[in-house]
Each structure stands twice: as structure tokens, then as C-alpha cells.
Structure 1
Amino acid sequence: MSGDLFVKRYDDPERCAAAAAHHAWLVGLGSGVRLPALVARGTRHLVFERLSGHIPGVEDLPRAAAALGRLHAAAHRQELRAACLDRPHTTSTGFVIPDFASPRQAALHLAAAAAGIHASVIDAVLDRAGESVTFYKDPNIRNYLANGNEVAVVDFDDLTLAPFGYDLAGLLVTASMTYGRLADRSITRCLRAYRVAVAPRICSLADLKRHAELHHLLTLRYLGRNGYRHPWPTVRPWPDPFLTELPQEGTPV
């Protein structure tokens, strides 16, 4: 295979077909964000254009946040304006994007119980039924490529509905677990870049904090692997909102 191509392999045809559908849908949004071209496909593999670049460093995070914002804004504007976070959405291209809570609720309850967090806390954060809708697409920092002023987005395996800011929180959590605690100015620049891209400026700092805790619980099992060297509780740039604002296990609700 040519060095200009990247082959992504899958264990089953359904996962492969879903990733191809996700990629086509994201390309069709016309967001202006760089995505690798899909040049060939089989039943268990996809062949993509290989993009140059590197995993974003701390200095690249605002550009990654802006790219994410442009994708989210385009998805909401073109496809998800009438979608609801609490039920699946059938896209104009014919595939179904799962709702926000169902795909992650069981895993979050399990991780929260191990951390001593009451299930009602998780359900309260997941209940965003009336909010504006965009999508989740694994925001792991390793799913971006920085090249100069451009940040490309790669990996199209998973897609669900999500509120604005959810993927930004994931980007910041995975960056913190990789590089260590981010300076307040880095967080501020990323939030500002994202909010400008999704104008009107959706996603408050309070929302970002709560979304980050969900990502922390879902990423716990990867600590010590895949470049995740720093536990989120040791690099969290703000007080734990679950401890300061919401009840813990054993607290009457």
C-alpha cells in the first residue's frame, strides 16, 4: 500500500459500513474542516488519504477547538436543528445517529458507582433534552492532526447526538491526561475559539465542566495506556463540580 494512504481495519462489516457512512455525512456538511478523503473500501476495511501533521500540542488546542466548533455548527445548521438529544435522529443520507444518553448511560453508571458518585448525578448531566443538538465523534486528541494553522479531523468510527461543548470537553480532558494540567489561559482560549465558531456562543464554562466529568469517567479505564499518563483528578483545572454542586452516593435525592 502506498505511503500516501492509510488503511483502517474493522472486526465486522457493520462497523466498517457505519464508519464510511459517518465520514460521508461529515464531508457533506461542508464545514471547511479538513477531513481525509475516503479513496476505497472493502467489507472490513476503509482506505483513506494519509494526511500529514502531528497530534496537537497544547499550543494547537485553540485551533482544534475552532475546527470542532465549525463541524458542530455546520451539523446543527444543516441537519440537526430539529433533532432532540433524547431520541435518535435519521439523517438525510439515511443512517441513524443514536441519542445522547442511551449509548453511554450504562458505562457511566458503572464508572460512577466505582467512584462513589450517585447515579442521579449522571442522569442529571445526561438529561439535556431541551438543548440545541450537535454530535459526538470521539474527541480524543489523537483524532486530530495539526499542520501549521490547519487542524484536520480523523477517525469516524463512533457518532451520537450530543450537546454543544461535549466534544470540546473531551478534547480538553484527553489533552490534560496526555500533557498534564492545562493553564487557565489555554482553557479560556479554547472555549473562546469554540464559542466563536458555533456562534451564537453556545456552551458555558459550567456546561464544559460537567461534560468533562463524563469524559473522565468514560476514559478512566484507559489511564496508563494510549498516552494517558495523568489522572484527571490530578490535572483538573477547576474544583470537581460533582463534589461541589451535586449529591454523592448515599445522599438522599
Structure 2
Amino acid sequence: MHSLFLVFGAGLLAGAMNALAGGGSFVSLPALIAAGVPPVQANSSSTVALFPGGVASAWAYRDGLGPVGSVTMRSLLVATLIGGFAGAILLLRTSSAAFSIVLPWLLLIASLALAFGQRVGDALRARFRIRGSAVLAIQFALGVYGGYFGGAVGIMMIAMWGLLDTRDIKSLNAPRTLLVSAANAVAVLTFVIAKAVHWPETLAMLVAAVIGGYGGAQVGRRASPGIVRACTLVLTFCMTLAFFVRTYAPALPGR
């Protein structure tokens, strides 16, 4: 019962974070691990729990869907679905011990993407352009990352698309939400079929994330974007540091 309260509270916060600035998995994944779910199953369960909120966002943005530069949405969707499936299978074939070692680095990558992804994308867009075929290859790779872990993958997509499309960044939110949801959808289906989901904790977190997402959207209308972003980055980097300490400190000399 204590673990269900823990994951429900984490789901509320994760749902609110995703509605405000992203990074909800930085809360949901550690909470599931703390509740006793093995790391690989915690990651798959977190993906399932946060999936409905992403679908709701994709539906809300449906009117803004369209091609990204010269690349059709259908092509991007196919590349993402194949990559997401490959990433999910890769996760299921990763042992909990190996995933525990990789996890802090995945969190660090996601933290850096949250912090600097837009700036890096803007800087690259001012200097480079890439072809549609390269976009599909990178989109496949991002799909793999999305199915395997997925932290801040939406920001990575927008940064990459900026090298192809000259549209305003905000106009890319519609394809971003759809394709992130697509990678998560195929991963969720794979995890469910493989029975890699801890359902009591997942369902409690799922319900809480929906509630938190609605509440976060209401808060987002009133809160300062700068404050929301600062709080999100502080939380994500603190969680990343905690996982580095948890994973590597016991191996230090004298420990």
C-alpha cells in the first residue's frame, strides 16, 4: 500500500511536469524503482503509465499536423514506429544490472537535451541544412531511443527538424507530439505483450498522471514559464546526480 501511494504521488507530479515543460519520466521511473520494481520493468511500466497523457496531447495538436520540410508525415511515422519497436525489444533484452549502469547516462543525456536542446538546435539551424533521407535515418535512431528510454526525445526531434524546416519551432509541436506518442505506442504494445509491466503500480501511476496532467495544464496558464523551466531543470539534474551516486559511489575506493 505504501508503494502505491508513492507511485500515485509520483504520477501526479510526472503528469503535471509533462503538461508544463516535460521531464515527467525523471519522477515516474525513480518512483517505480523505489517501489521495488526492477529497473527494466520500471522503465517499461513508466512508459505505459505516462502514455495516455501523451496521446491526449497529440489529439489536442491534431490540426497542426503536416510534413516536416520535404519529408512526409507518413514517412516520419513509419521510421518512428520501426525505431520504437526496435528500441523496446532492445530494452527487453537488456538485463536489469546493465540497465542500471546505463540509466544515469541516459538521464544525463535527457537532462542536457532539456537544458540546451533548443539552443543547440537554433545554433545548428543557422549554419547547417540536411536532406530528407538523413532526417529519416535520424528519426529512426530517435525512435529507437524513444522506445528504449525516451527522455526529452521530443526536444531532440525538434532540434533535428530545425536543420530541415525553416518553420517556427512552435509549429513543429504537432508532429513532435504525434511521433513521440507513436514511438511510445509501439513500445507500450511490445511491453504489454512481453508481460514486462507491473500493473498495480502502473495503473495507480496512470490515473494519477492523467489527473496531474490536467492540473499541470491549469497551472501552466498562470505560472511563469521561466520559473517552471527552472524548477524542472533543477529536479532533473538533481535526479540525474542521485542516480550517478547510487550507481557508482559504492564502487569507489574505500566504499
TM-score by length of 2: 0.30
Query: Which structure has more helix as a fraction of its residues?
Result: 2
Structure of higher RCO (CA pairs closer than 8 Å, 6+ residues apart): 2
